[in-house]
Structure formats: structure tokens, C-alpha cells
Structure 1
């Protein structure tokens, strides 16, 4: 089975189209798995949702999907409120109703951040204001007990492409399709930075036992995306989209 793994699109329709075109050039996939945070961002949420609705991907719910789909508008952050207002009530309902966790195939489990917490950093920890890969024992503790048949875990949320081997289980984060860096101001304040303005995803070839992973970075019209963020009064997003970094 060949699986394309995408995550954290955040309403960046240009980046999503670039990833899908790149996937097609590489021969496509038997299944596309979307690890959530689909539309939230000061970019093209409605266009992103329309594209995803026709894609037939297996999608799990991210924290922003939950907030946009389930919170009262007055309780949302400005970016989530922008996204909410750009989508239809039916799209709000679809985001809110996405599953938290899904079996992709025998031996493969997918969720956005953690198996029970959609805001958890699974692979990463905050060190001196930056996300870095944590020790295997700490990752295993956060992951908790899995079905013994699970050999591959797919997660997103941190926007950092990475993988970690935990005994017989490999944890894979494909990175972010649509937002290569971000800044968190709540304690512990930190940044997540991929360091370059590419759209990221993974192609996974799976024979039921041994995965082969291709981590892919796709160039796209990131300057246009940055200008769209600026037009919607989001200079921090524009910086991240242009550089893959945040101050």
C-alpha cells in the first residue's frame, strides 16, 4: 500500500495544490491521510475545504478543526474566527465531527497530536523557546500503551517533519503542508520552525511490516500566500510563509 500523509494545511490552498500535483507526478497513492488542522488560517479556508471535500482523504480532527467546528464564535481566536466566518455551517459540522483517531490500515494508527489530546506535542519538547525532538522514553510515555499490532503511528501538530523509533513502533510526523513556522505566546512561549518556505508531506510505502518513508519538501508560490496573510492583517503568518521562521 502506498499512502500519502499530509497535515496542518491551515487553509493554504496554494500549498495543498502544490503537494497534490507533486504526488500525482510521483504516481499518486492508494490512500491519502490528512492529520488535521485543515482550514484554520488567514489564507483560503473556503477554497481549502472545497478541495479537501473532493479528495476522499481519511481525515482526523486537529485542535483548530475542533475549535472552528465546535466553539462559539466569540470564544475563538481571531484566525479561527476568520476561518469560521469563511465556512458554511455544514463545513463547521464536518470539521467538528471528524474522528480524533483512526486506523489507516492494519498496523497503522493516525491522530493529530496525541491519541487522547489534540494539543499534545508527541515527538517534541520545548527547550529554550524552541521545539526540539525529545528522548525516546519521553515520547513513549506520552504515546501510552498501544495495541500490540500497531507498528506505525502518524501524527502532526508540531509542523516539524520528523520520525522516532520506539522499539517496534515508528512515529512519523510529515511536517506542515501550509504553515512552515509558528509562534506560541502562552507559557511555555516557543516557536516551531522548519527553516524554509516549503510545503511538506510524506509518501509511505507499507508492506504490513517495514515502512519506507520519503519526506518531501515542495516549492510553491509562497510569496502569494504571504501577501494573502498580509491582506488579512497577519504579518506573523506572512513572515512564517516567506521564511519558514518566526521571530
Structure 2
């Protein structure tokens, strides 16, 4: 079985289309799973949602999907979530809210956005000196405890950082990186940044062997018209997003 894994599109329909085109050029996949945070961002939330609804992919709910789905905006709502909320229909917002926290993609293969029991806390990351870094193994093990012990493969996103971690005596964790948001600045204490280090659209492919065990992983970075995405962010009044889209970094 060949599984394509996409995550953290954040309304970047140009990056999404580039990833889907690249996947087709590689022969496609038996299944494509979407790990959430679909539309939040100053780009093309409605167009992205329409594209995803047409694809009807197995999808889990991200923290920004939940926030965008709120009925009303207030001063606590992040600008990217408000931008998307204002451009989606009520039915589209309801569709985001209805997404599950976790999905069993195949026997022993579990997908979620951040952690199996929370859509906003990091699984494999820690915050050190304002940057995301690999968390200690003991912390990752503790965060995986809600999983079924039979789980062999975890598919997750949220950090926007590509990761492949084999937990000794436990599952493999695969994070494909972000399709549409290569860097972000989170001022929630403790404030930190995540930076992929290039503007490419990221996704992954996992192959399962005949016994269902993961046998091969590909982490793929696709070039696309990131300058057009950056200009869209600038038009929306978000220069920091434009910087991230152009470079994969928050600051020069």
C-alpha cells in the first residue's frame, strides 16, 4: 500500500496543486491522507477548501481548523484564522469542525494533527531558545501513551517540520512537513518559531509492506510559484507571511 501524506496547507492552494501534480508524476498513491490545518492563512482559504472538498481525502482536524470553525470572531482570534473564517461559508466551517481528531488509515497506522489526544500540543518537539527542536525520547513516549499499543506508524503534522523517528519498541513517527506554510512565528508562551529553511511545498509518501509494516519513506520538497503566494500575503497585509513564503525563514 502506498500512502501520500499532506499536512498544514494553510490556504496555500498553489502549493497544494503543485504537490498534487508532483504526486501524479510519481504514479500517484493508493491513498492520500490530509493531516489538517487546511485553510488558515492570508492566502486562498475558500479556494483551498473547495479543492479539498472535491478530493474528499481522509482528513483529521487541526487546531486552526477548529479555530476557523468558530461561529464568531473576537479579539482572541488569530488574524490568519479570522481571514479564513470570513471567507468560508457556514457549511464549510461546519465541515472543518466535524473532522475527527484521529483516524486509523490502515491497520496499525494512525493519523492525527498534533497529538493523539490534543490538536495543538507538539508531539516530537520541544521549545529551546525560541526554536522548535527534537524533544527527548522520554517526552515523546509519554505523549504517545494514548495510542493503541498495536500502532506501528504515526502520521502527524502541526510543527511544519519534517521528521522520521523510530521509537525503540514503539511506532515510527512520520511528519511530512508543511505543504503551504514553510515558517511561522508563535507568540503563545513560550514564544517560538518553526522554520523549514526553504520555500518548497513539502509532503511525504509511505509504502507499507505485505504485512502492513512501513517499509519505505519519501520526504519530498516541491518548487512552486511561492512568489505569487508571497504577493497574496502582502496584499492581505501580512508581510511576515510573505517573508516566510519567500524564504522558509521568519527573519533574514
- State whether TM-score is above 0.5: yes
2:69 aligned counterpart, secondary structure: helix
Does residue 239 in structure 1 map to residue 243 in structure 2? yes
Measure, in 1, the Cα distance between the counterparts of 2:247 and 2:191: 20
Aligned partner of 2:189 in structure 1 is 187
Cα distance change, pair 96–145 in 1 and its aligned pair in 2 (3 A)? closer
- 1:64-213 correspondence to structure 2 within 5 Å: 64-70=64-70, 72-74=72-74, 75-166=76-167, 167-207=169-209, 208-213=212-217
Shift of 1:53: 0.6
Aligned partner of 1:56 in structure 2 is 56
RMSD of aligned alpha carbons: 1.0
Shift of 1:143: 1.5
1:32 aligned counterpart, secondary structure: strand
Aligned partner of 1:33 in structure 2 is 33
Q: Deviations over 1:99-123 (max 9, x none)?
A: 0011000010000000111111101
Does residue 223 in structure 1 map to residue 224 in structure 2? no
Q: Any stretches of 5+ residues in structure 2 without a counterpart?
A: none
2:95 aligned counterpart, secondary structure: helix
Aligned partner of 2:42 in structure 1 is 42
Using structure 1 for the length normalisation, give the TM-score. 0.97
Contact persistence 1:181–1:194 (CA under 8 A): yes
Q: Deviations over 1:50-105 (max 9, x none)?
A: 11011121000000000111352225222111101111010010000100011000
Moved over 4 A (4+): none
1:110 aligned counterpart, secondary structure: strand
2:55 aligned counterpart, secondary structure: coil
Q: Deviations over 1:136-177 (max 9, x none)?
A: 221111121422221000110000001111123101111000
Q: Deviations over 1:182-208 (max 9, x none)?
A: 001121111100100000000111120
Q: Any stretches of 5+ residues in structure 1 without a counterpart?
A: none
Measure, in 2, the Cα distance between the counterparts of 1:204 and 1:104: 12
1:58 aligned counterpart, secondary structure: coil
Measure, in 1, the Cα distance between the counterparts of 2:117 and 2:149: 18
